[in-house]
Amino acid sequence: MLRDPLFVPKHTKGRPMPEGRFWEKEYSSARVWLAGGAVWMAIGTLAGLGSAIHLVAPDFFANIPWLEFGRIRQVHVNTVLFGFVVQMLIGCALYIMPRVLATKLFSEPLANLAALFFNAGVVLGDIGLMAGYTQGREYAEYIFPADVLLVIALVMVAVNMVMTLVRRNEQLLYVSSWYFAGAIVWTVFMYPLGNVMWHPATGAETGITDAIFLWFYGHNVFGLLVTPLAVGIAYYMFPRIAGAPLYSQALSIIGFWSLLLFYTHIGAHHLIQAPIPTWLKTVSIIDSFAMMLPVATVLVNQWYTARGRFGRFLTNPSAKLMLVGTIWYAIVCIQGPLQSLAVVQRVTHFNNWVVGHAHIAVLGFTGFIALGGMYYVLPYVTGRRVYSEKLINIQYWLILLGLLDFFIVLTIAGLIQGQDWLNGATVYRTVPQMKPYMTLRLAGGLMIITGAFVGVYNVLMTFRKGEPINP
C-alpha cells in the first residue's frame, strides 16, 4: 500500500498569514469562491421557487416576462449548477489542491480574478436569460459573452491547478489532485465544444447533429466537471474525518481512468428515443452500466476508509453532509444506469422522474459534498471557527428533508405521468393530476431554500464573527 500523503503533511502548520492585499493572501481565493457559492445557492433556489410556483399556480407571475417559467427555469438550473455547485466545489479544491501537494496555490490573484470572471459570467448569463437572451440548449443556455467569461475563468483556474501541480513539494500525487486538475482541464476543452462556441450567435450546430453535441456536453458537465470535483473532495475528506489512511490507492486510480473512459461515451442516453444512430444509443447504454465501476471504486474506497469509524461522521456536521453526499451518489448511480435502458425510459423519459434524478444528483450528490467540503474548509481558509455548528445542522436537516421530499414526490409524479402516457392518456389529461405533487414539491423546495439562506447567514457570519482560531 502506498504511503498516504495526508498524514505526513509538509505544509507548515500555524504559519502566519502573509501580508498583502486581500486578493494576494493565502486562501483568499478559496474564501471568495466559497462565499460566492453560498450566495448563489440562495439566489438559484429562489429561481427554483419561482419555477415551482408556476407549476402550481400558473397565473401567479402572469405576464411578467422575466419571471416567465421557461426563463426563470433556465436561471434556476444554470445558477445552481454553475453559481452554486461548481463555484463551491472549486472553492474547496483551491484549498485542498495545495494542501495535498504540500505547496501554495500557484497564484492567489489569478484565482481571485478567475472568481471575478466566473461570477460576472453567471450574472450576465442570468440577466440575459431573464431578458430572453438564451441559446435554448439545456445547460448551455448562457449567451456567448457569458460563455466567454466562464471559459476565461476556467482557463485561469486550470492554469492555476496545473502550475500548482508543477510547483508541488509532495512527489506522490494524491488522487484528489488528479481529479481537480482533470476536471478543470477537461472542462476547458469540453465547454466550448458543447456550447458550439465557434457559432457565437446561436451557440449551436445544425440539425440532429446539434443534439449530439449538446448531450455530449450536457452529460459531461456533470460527469467531467462536477462529479470529479466532488469525488476529489470526498477523497480528501474521508481519510481526514475518519483519521485513517485511504483504503486503496489502486482503486482510486482505476476509478479515475474508468470514469473518464466511460462517462465520455454516455451522452446519447439522453436521446434514447430520439432519431440518432442506434449504435450510438447502444454504446451509451452499455457505458452507462459500465459507469457502475468507477462509481463503485469511489464508494468502496470512501466507505472502507471510514469502516469502523462511521461514528466520527455523525458527530461532525460537515462530515455528515459528506457521508450523505456519497449515499446520494450511490442512489443516483444505481438509478442512472437503469433509466438509461430503453424499456425503463419508455416510462420515465420526458417526465418528473428525470427531474427527481437531476435534483438528487446535483443537489444530493455534488451539492451535499460541496456544502460539507465548504464547512470543513472554512476554518482553515478564514482562520475562524464556523459561526454556528447548530446552523449547519439545521441547514443539513432542511436540505435533506426537502430533497427527500423532491425525490419521492417527483419520482411518483413521473411514474404516474409515464404510465398514463404509455396507456394513451394525453399530456393535457395528466396535467391536473400533477397538482398535489407539484404542491408537495413546492413545500420541499421551501425547506431547501430556507436551508440555503441559513447557509448564507452562517458563512457570512463566519467571516465576520467566527471565533478566531489561535494563530
Partner 1 sequence: MSALWTKTRAFVGSPAAVIVAGSMLVLVAATFATVLWPVYTMKHKPSSLWRPNRTLEDEGRLRYIANGCTYCHSQYVRPQDWGIGAERIAESGDYHQQQPHLLGSERTGPDLSQEGGEHSDDWHLAHFINPRFTRPRSLMPRFAFEGDRNIKALVAYMQSLGGKNADARVAAQKRFHAEAIAAYRKGPDENIEWLHSRVPRSWRAMPTESPVTDASVARGEKVYQDYCIGCHGPVGDGEGPAARYLEPRPVNFTTLRRHLIDRKYIGGILYYQIMNGITGTAMPYFKKDLESAKIWDVSNYLERNFIGHTDDKYPDVGIPASYEGKEAGPVTDQPAPEPPSRSVAP
For residues 386-445, which are near partner 1 according to CB under 8 A? 417, 421-422, 424-429, 431-432, 434
Give the separation between CA 89 and CA 231, rounded to whole angstroms: 10
Q: Which residues contact 130 (CB under 8 A, 6 or more apart)?
A: 66, 67, 71, 72, 75
Residue 321 binds to partner 1 (criterion: CB under 8 A): no
Kind plus residue range of the DSSP H or E element containing 431: none
Beta bridge partners of 468: 384
- The residue length of the chain stands at 471
Do 458 and 386 contact (CB within 8 A), yes or no?
yes
Among 347, 391, 449, 454, binds ligand HEM (CB under 6 A): 449
Residue 468 · residue 384 · CB < 8 Å: yes
Helix, strand, or coil (residue 308) = coil
**Whole-angstrom Cα distance, residue 464 to residue 280?**
53
Q: Which does 49 bind (CB under 5 to 8 A by kind): ligand HEM, partner 1, none?
A: ligand HEM
Contacted entry of ligand HEM, partner 1, none for residue 90, CB cut-off 5 to 8 Å set by kind: none
The rounded distance, in Å, linking the Cα atoms of 24 and 18 is 8
Site string for ligand HEM, 26-65 (x = CB under 6 A): ---------------x--xx--xx-xx--x----------
Q: How far is the CB of 314 from partner 1 (least distance, A)?
A: 35
Beta bridge partners of 384: 468
Copy the grid coordinates of residue 47: 429561481
**Stretch of 76-84, 148-156, 165-173, 316-324 lying at the interface with ligand HEM (CB under 6 A):** 76-84
Residue with C-alpha cell 438509478? 335
Q: Which residue has the cell 476536471?
A: 183
Q: Which is nearer to partner 1, 2 or 314 (CB)?
A: 2
Q: Say whether residue 221 binds ligand HEM (CB under 6 A).
A: no
* Chosen from partner 1, ligand HEM, none, partner binding at 470 (C-beta under 5 to 8 Å by type): none
Q: How big, in percent rounded to 5, are the helix, strand and coil portions of the chain? A: 75, 0, 25
| Shortest distance (Å) from residue 448 CB to partner 1 | 20
* Residue ranges in 32-91 that form contacts with partner 1 under rule CB under 8 A: 54-55, 58-59, 61-65, 68-71, 73-74
- Binding to partner 1 (CB under 8 A) within 237-266 occurs at 257, 260-261, 264-265
Backbone angles phi, psi at 189, to 5 degrees: -85, -45
Q: Give the 3-state secondary structure of residue 35.
A: helix
Contact status: 206 vs partner 1 (CB under 8 A)? yes
Nearer to ligand HEM, 365 or 376 (CB): 365
**Shortest distance (Å) from residue 439 CB to ligand HEM:** 11
Query: Can you point out the beta strands (E) in 109-232?
Result: none
CA distance 304 to 238: 10
Residue 118's alpha-carbon distances to 15, 123, 153, 262, in angstroms, are 30, 9, 5, 29
By CB under 6 A, tell whether 123 contacts ligand HEM.
Answer: no
CB closer to ligand HEM out of 139 and 387: 139
138 contacts partner 1 (rule: CB under 8 A): yes
Nearer to partner 1 among residue 39 and residue 184 (C-beta): 184
Is 418 a residue that touches ligand HEM (CB under 6 A)?
A: no
Q: Toward ligand HEM, which CB reaches closer, 156 or 321?
A: 321
Site string for ligand HEM, 332-371 (x = CB under 6 A): xx--xx-xx----x--xx----xx-xxx-xxx-xxx----
Binding part of the chain for ligand HEM, among 71-79, 171-179, 309-317, 374-382 by CB under 6 A, reads 71-79
Residue type at position 200:
P
Using CA atoms, how far apart are residues 408 and 430, in angstroms rounded to an integer? Answer: 18
The least distance separating ligand HEM from the CB of residue 359, rounded to whole angstroms, comes to 5
Rounded to an integer, what distance in angstroms lies between the CA atom of residue 31 and that of residue 459? 10
* Residues within the interface to ligand HEM (CB under 6 A): 41, 44-45, 48-49, 51-52, 55, 73, 76-77, 80, 84-85, 138, 222, 226-227, 269-270, 288, 291, 295, 332-333, 336-337, 339-340, 345, 348-349, 354-355, 357-359, 361-363, 365-367, 445, 448-449
